[in-house]
Structure 1
């Protein structure tokens, strides 16, 4: 094992009381959920020296400690005892009986984050606590989470820290300026008539509702949920795909795609830049559009003008192209294609098609006609719509900008005019 990794492993064994454990195996992964330019995780599997009972081949025995440490900062990101069996003889972790204040203090010490300023309490359950990333108690997006879970004996069984947590110099501090009167016209424009599948009744239900979206505090921009969630290279293209000449014979042969996050020791130590965080260039977009057109013409020769390239982003080292139908119906589940493109050659390597999901609903009864207008539905929903401040990560400036999150847990049954809770559908 590399000397740097050995030092980290020895430190973990000492700090987490793993004297009665041995290191069985380890891996290195790139942490794609972090805003840090190059974040690598050192993953270790520590096995108890004494194991009771038989263990199925290929599985870790109960009590195995799976630990992930940030390679550069040496901070703990994940710690899990297999099957919740905490076999550490000298406990160095908080216990459930210690109470939330002691657990929060331990999280602060472990993560280097400050409670209230960088993370806030989201949920306190019988077996643990869940926190979310925050900026002075205002939520941030994409979401960062911290979870501390305990077993039936009240001993720590799992700790996890995922996503990114803002530093103070990344926050663009400003007063929240969005009010209902300002955003109502925007929300009304976002309100849609959607058809939701009701599986028990095998029918489509027409519902007026609004999707989660974000409005910048200066009221100048609307940020779609997908772009805010992807955080880095997501670019909405929205260009139609069509051709005016005969399609070529299909010769496309899908290639195997590697979706693993694992990297070699050499890659991690070389601190190789994360290609997934590199902004898209005009050439990336244009040549990907050409590749998408060639693929679609060959694979779906009768579909000229039926598809559009909605968005492109980087993921798993590939350029990902999202294709949506040019003419969409009102169903919440749309026919979509996802193409994996080689960023060096701009050739389509593989794709996924969700048409098989749509076929599951072919026998459903069509939705009834609406009995009210969009304006009338908006009046019914107005008091249920929530506008809350949230900081959205802006990758180009590497800062968080204040936005209003527009969300609504309710919809209007367009066939009856009743307000309904969407989670119950």
Structure 2
């Protein structure tokens, strides 16, 4: 075994109290990350004491340790004890308070609290979001830590990138007053499910958006409306899609080859994606010409993914398809829809008709608008943007303010 990999295995075994565990798998893999770079991973799995092998293939029993190391940096990326069951002699904190956890996270990541990661919320014991000089970044990143009642580590994960030298720093000049027109345009009518009343609720709410600090103009997402005149009979024989990092030989991984998914999609390739997305809709939604938009074309898991969204749906979760296309032929090889998200509300009563105007709703929601600073990856550089958002909505019938739980 590679000497460096053996060293990481030994370190993980000692740090997390795995001396009585049985290491059942060690794999090296690579995949494209959110900033179109390649992540290189060492993944180690240990079975709990008393188990020499899995009883069921690919099924880890409670207490199994799954630990991941970033091969390029040698830093810890994740620690998971299946079922939240930590080893008896696992990594245990003295107090388990925030200050102690922050110091440990700083040691594990090399980042500084308040500069590279800031407070966030989740179901974990402690959560943070990644930042640049205390300002959140996009694509976003996160750090999560969970402890059991004995203050033993049961979960740790680091996801995302902290910008380094590729940042253009600016003085933030946007204000809520200066972006009122943009905010008004981002106020949309939609219907959200009310679990308490078991019906759809009509509301006006803010559709969040980035605004350039330099120009004061909003970032407009590229959406292409697809139209057709005839029905087709395309039949997709769906292939099984697996979301796992591609394995790579442990010796070759230290050459750090770029993952194939980082290769850009050509203009010709995008045209083929559009053509086959159109053919898919002509076959699977033939009566909805002009109602679907194409977006989010990207390489992933050795395929090309594209998203189709119905722009006429007023549901807070509009109907959508995710298409998977062959990277060479661009043929659709599988698809997923989001009907499962809507099926749970199938018995809900229809929403009432809106009685207040958009102008009235905007006046009511103004005090609850938020404008945050965010460093957004623009090409190869992070630039400062404003992000307009709101955690409240206006009931479209009675005009009451509804506050959503964050």
TM-score for both structures, normalised by structure 1:
0.83
After TM superposition, the structure 1 = structure 2 runs for residues 405-416 of structure 1, keeping only pairs within 5 Å, are 405-416=387-398
In structure 1, the partner of 2:143 is 146
Distance of 1:45 and 1:129 partners within structure 2: 24
Give the corresponding residue for 1:233. none
Give CA-to-partner distance per residue, 1:82-139, whole Å, 9 cap, x none. 44444364x7x461416433432222222111222211233699x8432221112122
The answer to whether 1:316 aligns with 2:301 is: yes
Shift in alpha-carbon separation, 1:199–1:182, aligned structure 2, 3 A: same
Corresponding residue of 2:316: 332
Equivalent residue number for residue 153 of structure 2: 156
Which residue of the partner structure matches residue 69 of structure 1? 69
> Residues 159 and 191 of structure 1: is their aligned pair in 2 closer, same or farther, counting only changes over 3 Å?
same
**SS of residue matched to 2:237:** coil
Q: 1:176 to 1:152 in 2, by over 3 A?
A: same
Relative to structure 1, is the Cα distance of residues 279 and 153 closer, same or farther in structure 2, using a 3 angstrom cutoff? same
More deviation, 331-340/271-280: 271-280
* Structure 1 residue 347 corresponds to structure 2 residue 331: yes
Mark the CA change 1:412 to 1:34 in structure 2 (over 3 Å): closer, same or farther: closer
Are residue 135 (structure 1) and residue 132 (structure 2) matched? yes
Any residues of structure 2 matched to 1:134-283 within 5 Å, and which?
A: 134-167=131-164, 169-223=165-219, 236-243=222-229, 246-265=230-249, 268-269=253-254, 271-283=256-268
Provide the rounded CA distance (Å) in 2 between the counterparts of 1:289 and 1:57. Answer: 42
Detail structure 1 runs of 4+ shifted over 6 Å in the superposition. Answer: none
SS of the equivalent of 1:253 reads coil
- Which residue, 274, 284, 288 being the options, matches 2:273? 288
Partner of 1:197: helix, strand, or coil? strand
Q: Which of 106, 109, 112 is the equivalent residue of 1:111?
A: 109
Q: Deviations over 1:295-343 (max 9, x none)?
A: 33344444444433244233222222222235x0422232222211112
Match of 1:384 in 2: 368
Distance in 2 between residues matched to 1:115 and 1:360, nearest whole Å: 40
Q: Distance in 1 between matches of 2:322 and 2:404?
A: 28
Residue 370 in structure 1 maps to residue 354 in structure 2: yes
Structure 1 range deviating more: 287-296 or 276-285: 276-285
Change (3 A) 1:36 1:333: closer
Unaligned ranges ≥5, structure 1: 228-235
